[in-house]
Amino acid sequence: MAGFAKREVMNAYDNIAHEFKETRRKAWRSIKEIGNPAGMTILDLGAGSGRNAIALAEAGAANVVAADISIRMLEMLRFEDTHAEIIMPVQCDAMELPFKEGAFDAVVCVAMIHHIAGRMNRRGTLRGAGQVVKAGGGILVTAWSRRQSRFAKRVPHMLLAWWRGGELGDAHIPWGNKATRFFHLYTKGELKADLTEAGFKVERVYGERVRAKTLAENWVAIGRKG
């Protein structure tokens, strides 16, 4: 299942890269939770087309490694990037990071962890992030929330996937008629538990609304390596 979901997500983002870039230009507000990035070396894990990496560079980060599994998404960053001296695009699998231990001052993982199938795989990914961040370094993780009204009609499908051996919260969500992406829709407690198990001290977990007026679409977690 994990391998299928990985290929599905990689192929999906390769297919929608240009449209994603054109419709997702603003950096996430929650990246401010990482603190003042001035002079820092930061890993943007699941960087996509680079909107958060660019924002971090503009805020004074010394170096930003923009890592993503989709080569087409990273090509969108290379095409437009005006901070080539600061941002380094790297295609890699988040579950097998090719970086040295303690290489980064902080890790930003925005809207990526929910694309990994299997709780042990997600926790392993977060442990890997913990290995490449320095002691005392921060991590920001955001994930789609299960408590979204737009997903109410998907509850029967999620229950069926769970009954068939998947996890409650697993879903395959289309991007129009161009692609389908795997998601594990998180609960607040689940995200906190995964970060804790990965060795981070969780400082805060809260809901973030983007377009919704009531229920938050995302969970935002801030942690620190002990």
Q: Where are the alpha helices (DSSP H) in the chain?
A: 2-23, 51-58, 71-80, 119-132, 155-163, 188-197
Q: Is the pLDDT of residue 156 over 80?
A: no
User: What does pTM read for this prediction?
Assistant: 0.92
Mean pLDDT across the stretch 80-97? 90
Measured between alpha carbons, how far is 195 from 202 in angstroms, rounded to an integer? 7
- CATH number of the domain to which 102 belongs: 3.40.50.150
Backbone angles phi, psi at 204, to 5 degrees: -165, 140
The domain of 98 spans 2-225
Measured between alpha carbons, how far is 167 from 49 in angstroms, rounded to an integer? 29
pLDDT at residue 153, rounded to an integer: 73
pLDDT at residue 163, rounded to an integer: 74
Backbone angles phi, psi at 76, to 5 degrees: -65, -35
Measured between alpha carbons, how far is 5 from 114 in angstroms, rounded to an integer? 11
Q: Let me know: does 48 contact 31? Beta carbons within 8 Å.
A: no
Q: Is the pLDDT of residue 81 over 90?
A: no
pLDDT per residue as tens digits for the range 21-65: 888 888 999 999 999 999 999 999 999 999 999 999 999 999 999
Q: What is the DSSP letter of 122?
A: H
pLDDT per residue as tens digits for the range 6-15: 888 999 999 9
Backbone angles phi, psi at 39, to 5 degrees: 80, 0
**β-strand partners of 174:** 180
pLDDT per residue as tens digits for the range 158-182: 777 767 777 888 988 899 899 999 9
Q: Is the pLDDT of residue 97 over 60?
A: yes
What band does 1 get if pLDDT is binned at 50, 70 and 90? Answer: very low
pLDDT at residue 218, rounded to an integer: 94
**Domains: count for the chain:** 1
User: How many percent of the chain have pLDDT more than 90?
Assistant: 71
Return the minimum-mean-pLDDT range out of 77-81, 107-111, 154-158.
Answer: 154-158
Measured between alpha carbons, how far is 134 from 103 in angstroms, rounded to an integer? 7
Residues 197, 188, 183, 102: what is their CA dihedral angle, to the nearest 10 degrees?
-40
Better-scored residue on pLDDT, 185 or 5? 185
Q: Let me know: does 112 contact 126? Beta carbons within 8 Å.
A: no
pLDDT at residue 164, rounded to an integer: 77
Contacts of 53 (CB under 8 A, 6+ apart): 44, 47, 64, 66, 77, 87
